[in-house]
Structure 1
């Protein structure tokens, strides 16, 4: 049976262009806008764009985007402004914006045509205003989009560039080439995989010939007649040889595009009546004809979790399939670290279900019918192939199930990976359930602060790891970025995402490759103790909504901590609840520390000439909030003592030794404050890195000068009435009062809810000193462990830690080492007993 590849490039053949190639050689002009390329530009303008405006051929469409976005941004490039881009597009769009000096700002798409949502764009304009220097919508998969909306943006003075990479050959509602005569740049691709297939190249069109002239100068190093750069530029020129291929393709494009549109009709007819779970969903096509690179559709939600199995089944029958663009931009580590994402639920849904099928120049209608029949069969079989029926009924018992695959859950896996324990766990039936699309990243990248773990600590997860794939991440680009912050005051959390995700991918690969289960885009709803003594865990697929039962002998809760406004409001300060003191002026510490929190603070104090800010709390998050405010750029208008920190306990700095502390002039400690294992002073209670530096300054240790803008106000040393009056007078009150553990609803064998210590008021613990989850009476719940932010384990004994410490110990190093090993050892010991 013939293979039907997803993409089968069929550009014009250079082997048949001997005469034209010889003419190029005879002229000796191979690039720099020679006659072949100029002829192609003129022909394209006349034939495709009705002679309106002009066209510029470039080396590839990404270069065209980079130039066009840079030109559209003008003097606003390189100054922290945004390019508004739909999350469902190819990486090149966002990369081009970044190269052009703008930060990608990702927004959601429309559920019908999968292009940028007008509502999402409007919300972005309301939120970011003039910081949006350019809008770069994508004409999804070769279809048209509403250009009238973008003409309106351009008339308001906003830079507009249309990424029409796959749309050369597409027709609008009037039957013209999509984008003909547009007042802004339309950027098309001529890559070998596109409908307008050459080898490589791009075409930029605009109805504004002066705009194309400006881009032509940019494509030639910014030269304007002479050899002196008069503006930004680089080399984006299309060589003459590729101009030959482009000119030949121009004569073929009408027939090629029409043929592919006919194949689209066959797909829609064959699959449109398939009614399982609401059936397949097709992209709504704008205009009279798209330029289809391939056929994209959405799987029925019941089959979304089995997409990989469906693709593999089709491949076994010689049919190519893929999932463009999944993961979407908001799920890709580079753009999570270097862009800004708004909520994108539609992108999440489309990205989880999209499937791309073949549409090629050589296919026939019967080929499409074969693909459709194979797809329906693959969907019918996927439930059996992709998920064992025993597991769907909850009969298969995993040795252990980790609830949460973020930084804490993967820290546990990292601890196991430092020996052969992870392989042993996976082979024994380990399962990991994570609500995100991938393991590792969690929510760390959404915070605007630096880590309280060093770069060196992050890298200990991979350096010298027993697994070669994990060890190699030390020299991976994401590892190198972490290493750039070695010896500095932490790592910007937004820059940790690529490394965490890369580590998570390697760990997930080990688990799945050794027979374990990794279920992403899934939530654990609750767990019930069974008569057999294991746990029946209800797991909901976030895409399909399907709920299934997974059984496990042991559970590890690694769902992190949270901060609820109600809990912050209920905190009593100077005899009154903080909610009563602060009212609407209250910001939770967690909300402030996230990206965008400082901007929200600026808005709150915008009307005050001499604003006053109160931070309530003595935790690391409180000091991180203070540091974020003090180093804000541009600086906030704070006078002397305008920022006040209200805390109960003394603020203690960490020192690596008694000698180091005394050499620095710090002696406010005793024997009970020194870790007997490490010799560290305030190992657990002491502030580290950036927070430590601020504490040392404010305490005046070693002759350091306190920041005059900040005042320390220790509750108990200042009269309650005075504290209340100061907080009531503040323009903004930040409640940085730590985090509570996020527990999982657990039920006993009789169906009754198990009351956990984590559900108690205040700042409760999730676990005991062996990392076992405890109930409200302090008794361990059989077979359930916990790890992560606010879980409450306090190192002692051979793990070290100062005797005076009474808080909660959080730390990446602890999770990846001592605490992680403690849980792994217990999982393996119980597993060994079960086997015996």
Structure 2
């Protein structure tokens, strides 16, 4: 039986177009946008794009993307170009050559094109740092260009469409994809594409001026005389290839019709048994036919079985863009669970000019047989029978433990028998990057995790774009947390690799349902796969809870302020600070207050989140109409600024502290209780320290001084924001008999003791159970420093990645030593 190769290039034969070659020889023009190239550009515009706009030939699609992006953004300056994970490497490479940092995001689970939700979240999160959107028309599928035009207007962002596989894609009326688009749409004419030449590309745009600028850029930047007036390179299409393109255009309708019949036969034969892109409204140019294998099927054995049946098979795009080594070194990569699943299960089936519907049916029959073969069921690698340590949560706190170990060269020793369980698709980032605020830690603090780290894989991150983005804020009052998230994720990626390379395991996309301590002293941990809901049990000697904190709604019901229930004081005007501080939170506040000319806002709490909330309300754009005293901060404890030394405090005339307020280790004043960076500046103004003037829009009210006035302020506010701190998001802990083990945190106390051991309700440490992270309730002591007067808990990434993390690591390694003995 005839073999069906995955791709069978079928460009026009030059020997059949002798007249075109003789024309080129007579003209004496072999490049430089000669008559053959111009003839093709005009004919393509007329026949493929309905005569709209203009088109430009270039030597290949990668060069086309490069000059289109360079023209769109000018000097990239390290700004971001958003692109999907499911695309070819050239998309990221073109952006990088244009001076942009690729920002790789997830794809839509239905049609496999760029996730609209992911794009819009990134635009909100990164704002003007995003210079361009570079969506890919995945496998030739048309995407909504009107939506991209709207995004360009709304966010002031440039758009370049990677349509490498889409020449021949049409709408229901037969008009070519991209016709008249307000931005460049770049098509490939590589020999493997449906519009097969040998090499080449076509750029189409509704704006003729854009096309003429790109023409000059493709010709060394020569806009007129042989003198560069624009950034340029040599991207011209040779006349011989233009002649082939003209010949292909003449027969292209027949080529597309034949391919469409094969594609339709594939869809009919599949009959819903495999996940595929939805059938298009018009025509989709397909260079091959992509589909997803069922869960649990071994792709490599399927490919081998098809090959034995005489059928070529590929796996575009696997590895996807976010999994490729060079991209991981230069790009910022968002969690991509959909692309990860697609990349792991996608296969590409042959679809060529010479195939028939019967060939497609033969391919699917062979695929059905391969997938039904019992021997190719995927074998899932089991976790260790007894893990030494299981970390519940791979966010900033969970991975801080690993970072602490790496900074002391101990991660290879900790990794064997280690299991990390994380709900997200990646470890490291957690929820930190979703906050639209500035950190209360400096850029240098975040960079200490990678600078000088003895693990070369981690220290190399100092040159990664995410680290450089954080480093740009070294002299600023903190770092926007949206910039911190990518650094934490890429660090988490390196930690992930080190752990698995040294015998550990990282389970992303999983959650711990409950942990139970048996009478043998071991922990039984129930773990759920979020994709399938399947559960399995993992036994562990030690468990570290790093699940973060949250602001539970039931706390609002029980909370009393100035002697009255908060929900009664502000029943329909109440938000929690976490809702305000996350991306989109300020916009939510603005929407709630839109109809109020001079809104009054009450912020309740004396924590960093309360001060950060006020800072966001003051500087958010477009600005809220805040008059004098529009925001009132209601707090119980005095507001304290942090100082690096007693002398620094005295130099500013601040003397509201005593010996117990000075850290004996560092000499810092209010090391733990004091506000830092942006929140500190706001407090210093409120307290009029060193002749600072308060912001007239902010007023202070200490609740204990006048509770009646506090109730009056809340009652008169148009919006009340509760910044009451966080409670631990603890995993259910069970006794030997399965009954709940009550913890101190369940009774309103701290989750952990001074050694980071989880406490039960009686205050006793639970053997083999540790906690770290937001709302754990840890208070530094001894060599960790801190002022004696401090009341509360200390949180901070630096603490977790250093002394606090090492406190747990030392106990875990000591436990292993005892076990070995």
Please state which band the TM-score falls in when normalised by the shorter chain: 0.7 to 0.9
Paired position in structure 1 for 2:209: 214
How does the TM-score come out when normalised to structure 2? 0.81
Question: C-alpha distance in 2, partners of 1:147/1:814?
Answer: 47
Q: Give the distance between the partners of 1:199 and 1:733, measured in 2 at CA.
A: 66
How many Å separate the matches in 2 of 1:180 and 1:684?
58
1:283 correspondence with 2:283: no
C-alpha displacement of 1:522: 1.5
- Show structure 2 runs of 5+ residues with no match: 124-129
CA distance in 1, matches of 2:412, 2:658: 44
- The range that moved more, 562-571 or 497-506, is 562-571
Q: Which residue of structure 2 lines up, in the alignment, with residue 759 of structure 1?
A: 746
Residue among 371, 378, 394 paired with 1:376: 371
Corresponding position: 1:514 with 2:492: no
C-alpha distance in 2 between matches for 1:150 and 1:680: 51
Matched, 1:190 2:175: no
Of the three residues 134, 137, 140, the one matched with 2:138 is 140
Offset of residue 660 of structure 1: 2.0
Q: CA deviation at 1:471?
A: 0.7
Matched-pair contact (CA < 8 Å) for 1:617–1:645: yes
User: CA–CA distance in 1 between the matches of 2:373 and 2:753?
Assistant: 48
Cα displacement string for residues 135-193 of structure 1 (whole angstroms, at most 9, x for unaligned residues): 99764322356899999999x9x99987644221345556x464386676683421646
Map 1:56-67; keep pairs closer than 5 Å.
Answer: 56-58=56-58
Q: 1:688 offset after TM fit, Å?
A: 1.2
Instruction: Sort the Cα spacing of 1:336 and 1:469 in 2 relative to 1 into closer, same or farther, 3 A.
Output: closer
Match for residue 36 of structure 2? Answer: 36
Q: 1:65 to 1:774 in 2, by over 3 A?
A: same
Mark the CA change 1:62 to 1:214 in structure 2 (over 3 Å): closer, same or farther: farther
Alpha-carbon displacement from aligned partner over 1:16-62 (angstroms, at most 9, x marks no partner): 99998998799676766432321221333455457676533356657
Out of 719-728 and 318-327, give the one that drifted further. 318-327
Q: Could you report, residue by residue, the CA deviation over 1:612-642 in whole angstroms, capped at 9, with x for unpaired residues?
A: 2211111111111111122234433222222
Displacement of 1:196 in angstroms is 3.1
Q: Distance in 1 between matches of 2:301 and 2:782?
A: 49
Corresponding residue of 1:724:
711
Aligned equivalents of 1:663, 1:148: Cα separation in 2? 59
- Whether 1:414 aligns to 2:403 is yes
Q: 1:3-82 alignment to 2 at 5 Å?
A: 33-45=33-45, 48=48, 54-58=54-58
Q: Secondary structure at the match of 1:584?
A: coil
Match of 1:648 in 2: 636
1-structure distance, mates of 2:292, 2:747: 44
Alignment equivalent of 1:540, drawn from 503, 508, 528 = 528
1:20-419 maps to which residues of 2 (within 5 A)?
33-45=33-45, 48=48, 54-58=54-58, 109=108, 111=110, 113-114=111-112, 139-144=137-142, 164-170=163-169, 176=174, 178-179=176-177, 187-190=185-188, 192=190, 194-197=193-196, 201-205=200-204, 211-220=206-215, 238-240=236-238, 243-244=242-243, 246-247=245-246, 249-250=248-249, 264=263, 279-287=273-281, 289-302=283-296, 320-323=314-317, 347=338, 351=342, 355-359=346-350, 361=352, 365=359, 368=363, 372=367, 376=371, 381=376, 383-384=378-379, 386-388=380-382, 391=383, 396-419=385-408
Q: Deviations over 1:204-261 (max 9, x none)?
A: 457xxxx3423323424699997899x9998896433554564455467567656765
The secondary structure found in structure 2 opposite 1:383 is coil
Aligned residue for 2:572, secondary structure, equals helix
**1:298/1:573 CA distance change after superposition, 3 Å:** same
| Structure-2 change in CA distance of 1:666 and 1:171 (3 Å) | closer
Partner-residue secondary structure (3-state), 1:57: strand
Q: Give 1:691 shift.
A: 1.2
Would the aligned equivalents of 1:217 and 1:233 in 2 still touch at CA under 8 Å? no
* Distance in 1 (alpha carbons) for counterparts of 2:252 and 2:395: 48
CA contact under 8 A between 1:185 and 1:204: conserved in structure 2?
no
Helix, strand or coil for the counterpart of 2:350? coil
Partner residue in 1 for 2:126 = none
Instruction: State the partner residue of 2:759.
Output: 774
Q: Does the C-alpha gap of structure 1 residues 786 and 240 become closer, same or farther in structure 2, counting only changes over 3 Å? A: same
Is the 8 Å Cα contact of residues 336 and 445 (structure 1) preserved in structure 2?
no
Which structure 1 residue ranges, 5 or more long, are not aligned? 126-131, 274-278
Tell me whether 290-299 or 49-58 shows the greater mean CA deviation. Answer: 49-58
Task: Please state whether the residue corresponding to 2:700 is helix, strand or coil.
Answer: strand
Determine the structure 2 residue equivalent to 1:816.
Answer: 801
Structure 1 pair 214/807, CA: closer, same or farther in 2 (3 Å)?
same
SS of 1:281's equivalent in the other structure is coil
Distance 2:41 2:118 in 1: 36
Structure 2 counterparts to residues 503-652 of structure 1, below 5 A = 503-652=491-640
Shift in Å, 1:502 = 1.4
CA distance in 2, matches of 1:39, 1:93: 28
Deviates further, 33-42 or 250-259: 250-259
* Alignment check: 8 A CA contact 1:311 1:322 kept: no
Contact 1:31–1:237 (CA<8 Å) still a contact in 2? Answer: no
Deviation at 1:794, TM superposition (A): 0.7
SS in 2 for 1:830: helix
Distance 1:720 1:240, change over 3 A: same
Report what 1:499 is aligned to.
Answer: 487
- Which string of whole-angstrom CA distances, capped at 9 and with x for unpartnered residues, describes residues 281-303 of structure 1? 22222156532234322343456
* Residues in 1 aligned to 2:721 and 2:115: alpha-carbon distance in whole angstroms: 34
Q: CA deviation at 1:501?
A: 1.6
Residue of structure 1 equivalent to 2:127: none
How many Å separate the matches in 1 of 2:300 and 2:528?
Answer: 19
Indicate how the Cα distance of structure 1 residues 300 and 530 shifts in structure 2: closer, same or farther if over 3 A, else same. Answer: farther
Q: How far apart in 2 are the matches of 1:601 and 1:624?
A: 15
Q: Distance in 2 between matches of 1:729 and 1:336?
A: 49
Q: How far did 1:758 drift?
A: 2.4
Contact 2:516 2:736 in 1 (8 A): yes
Give the direction of change, closer, same or farther, for the CA distance of 1:826–1:383 in structure 2 (3 Å limit): farther
Quote how far apart the aligned CAs of 1:359 are: 3.2
**Comparing 794-803 and 33-42, the one that deviates more:** 33-42
**Which one of 418, 424, 429 corresponds to residue 441 of structure 1?**
429
Go from structure 1 to structure 2 and tell me whether the alpha carbon gap of 1:249 and 1:482 turns closer, same or farther (over 3 Å shift).
Answer: farther
Provide Cα deviations, 1:84-120, integer angstroms capped at 9, x if missing partner. Answer: 9989777988999999999999898473x44589999
C-alpha distance in 1 between matches for 2:683 and 2:699: 11
Following superposition, the deviation at residue 599 of structure 1 comes to 1.4
Structure 2 counterpart of 1:788 = 773
Distance in structure 1 (CA, Å) of the matches to 2:802 and 2:307: 42
Q: Distance in 2 between matches of 1:170 and 1:593?
A: 43
- Structure 2 residue corresponding to 1:738, chosen from 708, 722, 725: 725
